[in-house]
Amino acid sequence: MKKILSIFLFLILFTFTSVFAQEGMWLLNQINKLELEKKGLQISVDDIYSKQNEKALYKAIVSLGGGTASFVSPDGLMLTNHHVGYGGLQRASTKENDYILNGFLARNKSEEILAKGYRAYVLMEMEDVTPIILGAADKENDLAKRQKLINEKIDELIADKVSGKQDVTARVAEMFSGNQYVLFVYKIFRDVRIVYAPPLSIGNYGGEIDNWMWPRHTGDFTYLRVYSAPDGSGADYSTDNVPYKPEVWLKVAKEGIKENDFTFIMGFPGSTTRYATSQMIDWAQNNIYPFIVTNYKEMINIMDNLAEKDPEGKIRVASLKKGLANTMKNFEGKLEGMAKTDFLNTQKVIEDELMKMIMKSKKTAGKYGTIFTDDMKLYKEAAKIKDKDNIYRLLIRFAGTPLALANQIYFTKKEAQKPEEERLDGYTDRNIKGMLSIPDLAYNGYFEPVDKEFLLRTLRLAEKLPADQKFKSLDYLKSEAKNLEEFVDLSFENSKLTTLEGAKEISKMTLEELEASNDPFIKLARKLYDEFYQLAKFRQEFTIKSSDVKRRYISAIMELSSTVFYPDANSTMRFTWGNIIGYTPLANTEYPAFTTFTEMINKDKGVEPFDVPQKLKDLYKSKDYGRWVDPVLNDVPVAFVHQCDITGGNSGSPVMNSKGELIGLAFDGNYEALLSDWKYDYALQRTISVDIRYVLFITEKFANANFLLEEMGVK
């Protein structure tokens, strides 16, 4: 029985994609293999992506570097999620004007406000450069040297595309863990402005309680606009800039949608691990996820305790708190899914069957026979320092802004003084300048009481490390102050790194000046450097070796199967499709495909996160819904679920119907399928999207911004 089960699971691995094509975050140059016309697509695949089609829809899709947007007018107007625009709202907010809480509307273009730090990336071209990249390293067997040769060729290709161009950036993305490489070239715009964002009580209705949950009633949308120089080039913010004229923008669907309708999404999904080994799963399930869930929960509590009653502090930590809470709940869902499905042991069975197939032939045995034993050795080595490595990650990211910048400045200066071939990966002459440039937004989330508590907490955790994993470099703290609390207080009192001006001044110091500096955070960074370097070097070597194992693992699967595969998500543009359909998470519990405005009103409790604005209550009472009523629901639809395959980074992605018209914005996945970054579940996995009819209803009836509808051609 066990043998029959394991063979069945193995067959699933190789046939799932072809049987259930809803699975997959497909590269644009793969979608012609999906037979989409048979699935319900009414336009040509070339209308979605084609190098020859100047009006292909992909040109309307925009990366915001962590989220997705789409052009919806000829004047650079974009739609994305409220939570994608959240950072821009936070950076523009003050105690007097809290745009997160109250929303924001520009009645004309002169009132639109800069979304500080936002960049819009529009895809110009993509090219498979696998032969070029692998050809540069095909004779090198040493993994580290091979990776350096690959990196050098990648840098060469990128330099060729961006040289002398201020508004062009490029990236060579690794697919299938190094079995394929694709070059992406983007036009970059640095002037993105906020046009309209609904208040928090609409844009984040349900808050963290409803996050990742269905049924959902969140109006998760925001309007932004891209500006360019008068000649159409990307430029920094300027009053001389004009609304950008995109080549393509999406048209809003003239007809509504219903259950079983065909939908598709294009966006920039961030990261998935669909081709994970059992060692990777074990590491995430029993180390990374539990550590992050525990620590993020404690950090959120710190922010609640120290900033919640301070209006300015609450605004400053808002983005970080929202991000941590979102990740924490996501990882909790993943852990729950792993346990419920016995995911780790299932993968081990699949690997056993795969290895039996590999060993049937001398050719495949020679190429792939050691992949799982090699993987096990790597993770056994990593386990020896895992506790120290976890604290290292906190020290460089979540021990307060001053220490994070001190580490960044000092570490970069140390690497910069080495010959380039001896530096850690990434510390190229081209990158170092950017690493030493302190952005004006570096202290946007800085709130000293929270930053101090983060540092104190992390140092206390470092003290509790096992004896063989302690940071010996921290022993000097005993001579600096009578206890850690005093050390933290003195550090913040005596450091220039508590201000943006001070950080910029320190970033310009030479390495010799940094070595002699008495700034307490620079001194702490100096003390930590040797151990940080060893950890960073171990991580680099581990990544190279682990990637090679995964590359061979994926290569083995591909060689032994005729199935068409899609690569894991890696923030490059992808396509996914699926039908609108509800789901049954539990026996006798059936979830509908749509939610409605009436349901939203009925959830109102008068307090956040279920606090319906009075104007919406008045609209409900008067039934002033205008043209946005669905004839089947007899109500304004708020959100819907469908079988598209998305992950983080897809937030804000446009959802289109079979004609390529805009019908919604993807904003979430459902809790029951949070394991989807690792494994697609056809029965349970759903994308949650806000219905464009609700977006337009709120825009017209609540915000009285009919001029935006007119700009989008909605008549």
Angle formed by the axes of helices 448-463 and 484-494, nearest 10°: 140
Q: Is 82 a catalytic residue?
A: no
Q: Pinpoint the alpha helices (H) of 49-142.
A: 82-92, 99-102, 130-135
Q: Count the neighbouring beta carbons within 10 Å of the beta carbon of residue 24.
A: 24
The CA distance from 217 to 596, in Å, is: 7
Burial letters 176-195, b for 16+ CB under 10 A, else e: bbbbbbbbbbbbbbbbbbbb
Q: Count the neighbouring beta carbons within 10 Å of the beta carbon of residue 518.
A: 8
Q: Is 691 a catalytic residue?
A: no
Catalytic residue, chosen from 220, 375, 387, 630, is: 220
The CA distance from 61 to 41, in Å, is: 19
Q: Pinpoint the alpha helices (H) of 53-92.
A: 82-92
Q: Count the neighbouring beta carbons within 10 Å of the beta carbon of residue 484.
A: 19
Closest by alpha carbon to 399, among 359, 454, 360? 454
Helix (H) or strand (E) run with residue 378 in it: helix 371-383
Helix (H) or strand (E) run with residue 321 in it: helix 318-341
Closest by alpha carbon to 125, among 48, 185, 64? 185
Do 107 and 711 contact (CB within 8 A), yes or no?
Answer: no
The CA distance from 143 to 547, in Å, is: 10
Q: Locate 69 and state its tokens.
A: 């947007």
Burial category of 535 from C-beta neighbours within 10 Å (exposed 0-12, middle 13-18, buried 19 and up) = buried
Task: Evaluate the omega torsion of the peptide bond into residue 613 and state whether it is cis, within 30 degrees of 0.
Answer: no
Catalytic residue, chosen from 651, 653, 676, 689, is: 651
What is the chain's length? 715
Task: Evaluate the omega torsion of the peptide bond into residue 215 and state whether it is cis, within 30 degrees of 0.
Answer: yes
Catalytic residue, chosen from 6, 82, 83, 507, is: 83
Q: Pinpoint the alpha helices (H) of 560-682.
A: 597-602, 614-622
The CA distance from 130 to 260, in Å, is: 39
Q: Locate 449 and state its tokens.
A: 């009481």
Q: Is 220 a catalytic residue?
A: yes
Q: What is the residue whose two structure tokens read 């049937």?
A: 360
Q: Locate 202 and state its tokens.
A: 């609409």
What DSSP assignment string belongs to 185-215? EEEEE-EEEEEEE--HHHHTTTHHHHTT-SS
DSSP for residue 35: -
Do 649 and 269 contact (CB within 8 A), yes or no?
Answer: yes
Q: Pinpoint the alpha helices (H) of 495-519.
A: 500-507, 511-516
Cα–chain center distance at 77: 22
Burial category of 43 from C-beta neighbours within 10 Å (exposed 0-12, middle 13-18, buried 19 and up) = middle
Helix (H) or strand (E) run with residue 554 in it: helix 520-559
3-state helix, strand, coil in the chain (%, to 5): 50, 15, 35
The CA distance from 366 to 558, in Å, is: 16
Which residues are designated catalytic? 83, 220, 651
